[in-house]
Structure 1
Amino acid sequence: MARYHIETYGCTANRGESRAIERRLRDGGHYPADGPADADVAILNTCTVVEKTEQNMLRRAEELQDETGDLVVTGCMALAQGGAFADAGVDAQVVHWDGVPEAAMNGECPTTTPDAEPILDGVIGILPIARGCMSDCSYCITKRATGKIDSPPVEENVEKARALVHAGAKELRITGQDTGVYGWDDGERKLHVLLDRICDIDGDFRVRVGMANPKGVHGIREELADVFAENEKLYNFLHAPVQSGSNDVLGDMRRQHQVGEFLDVVETFDDRLDEWTLSTDFIVGFPTETDDDHEASMDLLRRIRPEKINVTRFSKRPGTDAADLKGLGGTVKKERSKAMSELKREVVGEVHESMVGDEREVLAVRPGTGDSVKCRDGAYRQVIVRNADEHGIEPGDRFEVSITAHETMYVFGRPV
């Protein structure tokens, strides 16, 4: 038996992969160490979304190889740029997610027993419903790691969800590189079918849907919005990354959708739901982005006013087609990023300011800073409740709060 230490970087889908790895390790009789220095093997589950992240991964791998017995590297950077670790002098086994348990257990590869309890992150259960996507974005290196969409059957994912709920999950996070194309490899998009089935599971829990690209959602937007409207267990939350407000730039990015299709999705959810949270992403400073293209993105942001916005400066990733394009220069990207980030704070701040004085039901999901707890309302907005011990509140509890104040990205609530 071995002691393992696992570190995970990047998206929720990566965290789901790590939970699956841990479950198989524990089935094999291995157990978590207190830290890398106490571990027989350290597992680094990597991300490589931008160049800065890549540098951080290499630095952390170098640190871990000095702190632990053996090092296993997996995740998106390992699969897309596996040679980078050897080039940096890192002595590690670089393997696919599925190969980590065998690599960590010296060739042993036990089968997960049917009655094994899934591993939760507090009261949060992470459910990767598929691996890969149907896109071919010109700037994305992750595609080299994940490949085309590979969707397990609906029933298999429902059983995994049921196991998480029975293990005590109060919040299920449905994840994947692109949840909107779940089932496309079998000829039919089935995200709405899967969500409806998961919501039929007995238990007191909420469901959050992870990133879904606009093109995948567009073809099932009415069916999907109806499922949200009909199921109280679903957070009214959709993460659909538009990336640009310019069709020309979207074409150069090979994003598959156009601005009009993204707006169709937004308008459909507006029609079906009284209140919901739109989360979206913008890439600023793509090599072909002109001043007019940037202003089109700013105009789109002003028009749709999403409540959660991720602004990322374009970063060339090795081996991608966009890496061969002549860049705009750091100053231009910095200025455009600053302008969009300022608009983001204005838009998001308005939403949270408007909530002050409301009373809402929330689910406590994580401990916060000090004696606080992080909660989510029905639209997945973050509500911070202070003095949690005084109120007898802990993760997993549902209760009513009065919204008393706000910061840019969240609000504060007092139990009613």
Structure 2
Amino acid sequence: MEKVIEEQKQGTSLVLDQRKDNTKKLFIESYGCQMNFSDSEIVASILANEGYNTTQNLEEADLVLVNTCSIRDKAEQTVRKRLEQYNAVKKINPVMKVGVLGCMAERLKSKFLEEEKIVDMVVGPDAYKDIPNLLKDVNDGRDAINVILSKEETYGDISPVRLNSNGVTAFVSITRGCDNMCTFCVVPFTRGRERSREPQSIMEEIKDLYKRGFKEITLLGQNVDSYLWYGGGLKKDYDKATDMQKATAVDFAQLLDMCATAYPKMRFRFSTSNPQDMHEEVIHVMAKHHNICKYIHLPVQSGSTRILKEMNRQHTREEYIALVDTIYRIIPEISLSQDMIAGFPTETEEDHQDTLSLMEHVRYDFGYMFAYSERPGTLAARKMEDDVPEPVKKRRLQEIVDLQQRIAMERTKRFVGDTVEVLIEKTSKRSDEHWSGRNSQNTTVVFPKETYKVGDFVLVKVTDCTSATLIGEAVGYSEMQ
């Protein structure tokens, strides 16, 4: 639930530059969070060196991989349907191999391979480097499986082959895994314990992206704020580090400052933040640098301290509100977004009202809101009865969505009359005559194309808005250009 699921991206197949010498075809499809899409780029990079070019034509593929998500039941059902479709094609093209990657792979390994026999290969999130060996096992007629979770793997030594969507924005992973053990979440079980990537490898990847013309980087992790590099090892083992390791350790505030200082003509975002790990120093670093976007995705899940305790969130309602108040004090122009779960086990009407009142106080610009669905393998599924009736969940969710839409409209209106800096990312969906990009606060901005181009930093005078989009006209380039 911590990660943002972008519905319009679900099931996107990855297409990369073709290598002339490669003769095999890879069809790779991704579901779930940004981390899964980033991981697909790593897998494609590994397989490019094994003779595979990507294709969007399923029928011609030698290898079909689906990168999966276990966060929500809907994603699992969608993936199952896709696997059925893959296997229908496999009857026509029997040499085709089918593999499942990612979070579902870890959770449903024996079911997929042995019971249902719907895949040839199962690969967990920490085993992508083993895919060439697993393919040999498949070709030799053996089941191929590696879902071992690693304490060290960060893929810091692999330069991902980028999606050729716009050449402007890119994700750079800085942490893997999660230690938080929220009772509703499968991530610690499917992605393992939290570990941070060596900062020099992060800076090298950003340097390469800068040279190739990318203009905006999102630092990515299940929990970026707890980034901590002290020479390698798990975050939880930091207390065992030597005095020298602690003295030379790099935390998230320092990493963010390094990135923004080294590349003043690039914009930086980050996702996802956990409230208990977001220290004030990070907020001061954001305020100091113009090129760090003034936007934080700050999941809360519930406005009730009692429910937060049931969820094993490491913060109370009061602590969350105090953090938000601090953020607004230091960066008044900030935009915040939330994750919210309606109908968690034992949630009462009073708990629900606490959530609505928290939303009124915080005034989120965006939100990702879901009715609770029990995820197998989580503590909540094992220990808690899913006791809130479905109609009650749906009604509470609708009240949360309605409130968020009202607040979002009010928040978006604050930009009307202002001039905002926009990085042009693509042509607007609504009109071929307009560009689309985002301002620092992550709000979409559309404006007439004129002579500007993708990748330009442009100042846009905002004249109108909808609840999610700003409409305006460019008045020149920004200082970032």
SS in structure 2 of the partner of residue 14 of structure 1: helix
Distance 2:158 2:371 in 1: 45
Residue 418 (structure 2) pairs with residue 358 (structure 1): yes
Mapped pair 1:373 → 2:435: yes
Cα shift at 1:114: 8.1
After superposition, where does 1:183-202 map in structure 2 within 5 Å?
Answer: 183=228, 184-185=235-236, 187=238, 190-202=251-263
Deviation for aligned residue 1:118: 4.5
SS in 2 for 1:97: coil
Structure 1 336/102 Cα, relative in aligned 2: closer, same or farther at 3 Å? same
| 1:306 to 2:364 alignment | yes
The code of the aligned residue for 1:144 comes to F
Residues 284-339 of structure 1, C-alpha deviations (whole Å, 9 max, x = no match):
00011111000000000011101111111100011222124222111000110111
Q: Note the alpha carbon deviations across 1:116-162, whole angstroms, 9 max, x for none.
A: 68525421211011101120111112221111101122222222222
Q: Distance in 2 between matches of 1:42 and 1:394?
A: 35
Pairing 1:390-405 to 2, within 5 Å after superposition: 391-405=450-464
Equivalence for 2:474: 415
Gaps of 5+ in 2: 1-22, 91-95, 138-154, 229-234, 239-248, 476-481
What is the CA-CA distance between 1:181 and the residue it aligns to?
Answer: 1.4
In structure 2, do the counterparts of structure 1 residues 262 and 114 end up closer, same or farther at CA, with 3 Å as the change threshold?
A: closer
Distance in structure 1 (CA, Å) of the matches to 2:354 and 2:69: 30
Q: Within 5 Å, which residues of 2 pair with 1:89-168?
A: 89-100=117-128, 102-103=130-131, 106-107=135-136, 118-120=161-163, 121-122=165-166, 123-168=168-213
Give the whole-Å Cα distance in 2 for the aligned partners of 1:264 and 1:34. 48
Tell me how far 1:36 sits from its aligned partner: 1.7
C-alpha change, 1:117 and 1:15, in structure 2 (3 Å) is closer
CA offsets per residue over residues 47-68 of structure 1, 9 Å max, x none?
1111122111111122223336
Q: Residues 253 and 14 from structure 1, CA distance in 2 versus in 1: closer, same or farther, beyond 3 angstroms?
A: same
Provide the identity percentage.
29
Of 214, 220, 229, which residue of structure 2 is paired with 1:175?
Answer: 220
CA distance in 1, matches of 2:351, 2:311: 13
Corresponding position of 2:398: 338
Q: TM-score with structure 1 length normalisation?
A: 0.91
Corresponding residue number in structure 1 for 2:148: none
Residue 12 (1) aligns with residue 12 (2)? no
Question: Where do residues 2-41 of structure 1 align in structure 2 (5 Å cutoff)?
Answer: 2-41=24-63
- Is 2:126 aligned against 1:83? no
What residue in structure 2 maps to residue 257 of structure 1? 315
Matches within 5 A, 1:243-282: 243-282=301-340
Asked if 2 retains the 8 angstrom alpha-carbon contact of 1:195 and 1:227, the reply is yes
2-side partners of 1:253 and 1:115: how far apart?
Answer: 35
Distance 2:261 2:286 in 1: 13
Residues 118 and 167 of structure 1 are in contact (CA less than 8 Å); yes or no, is this contact kept in structure 2? no
Query: How does 1:215-226 map onto structure 2 within 5 Å?
Result: 215-217=276-278, 220=279, 222-226=280-284
Counterpart of 1:40, as a letter, is D
CA separation in 1, counterparts of 2:415 and 2:156? 47
Q: Which runs of 4+ in 1 moved over 6 A?
A: 112-117
Alpha-carbon distance in structure 2 between the residues aligned to 1:227 and 1:116: 27
**Could you say if the C-alpha distance between residues 114 and 289 of structure 1 is closer, same or farther in structure 2, counting changes exceeding 3 Å?**
closer
Partner of 1:195, secondary structure, is helix
- Offset, 1:113: 12
Please state whether the residue corresponding to 1:384 is helix, strand or coil. Answer: strand
1:72 aligns with 2:104: no
Which range moved further: 173-182 or 65-74?
65-74
SS at match of 1:200: helix
Q: 1:402·1:414 contact (CA, 8 Å) conserved in 2? A: yes
Aligned: 1:406 with 2:479: no
Give secondary structure in 2 for the equivalent of 1:34.
coil
**AA paired with 1:119?**
R
RMSD of equivalent CA atoms: 2.3
Q: Deviations over 1:338-357 (max 9, x none)?
A: 11111010000111122222
Distance 1:59 1:293 in 2: 37
C-alpha displacement of 1:35: 2.2
TM-score by length of 2: 0.79
CA distance in 1, matches of 2:309, 2:320: 14
Q: Pick from 262, 274, 277 the counterpart of residue 213 of structure 1.
A: 274
CA contact (8 A) 1:176 1:211 kept: yes
SS, match of residue 337 in structure 1: helix
Query: In structure 1, what residue type is equivalent to 2:62?
Result: D
- Partner amino acid, structure 1, of 2:63: V
Aligned-residue offset at 1:207: 0.8
Q: Structure 2 CA distance, aligned partners of 1:97 and 1:29? A: 22
In the alignment, the residues of structure 1 paired with residue 160 and residue 281 of structure 2 have an alpha-carbon distance, to the nearest angstrom, of: 33
Moved more, 97-106 or 256-265: 97-106
Letter in 1 for 2:413: E
**1:80, distance to aligned residue in structure 2 (A):** 2.5
Task: Tell me the matched-pair count.
Answer: 407
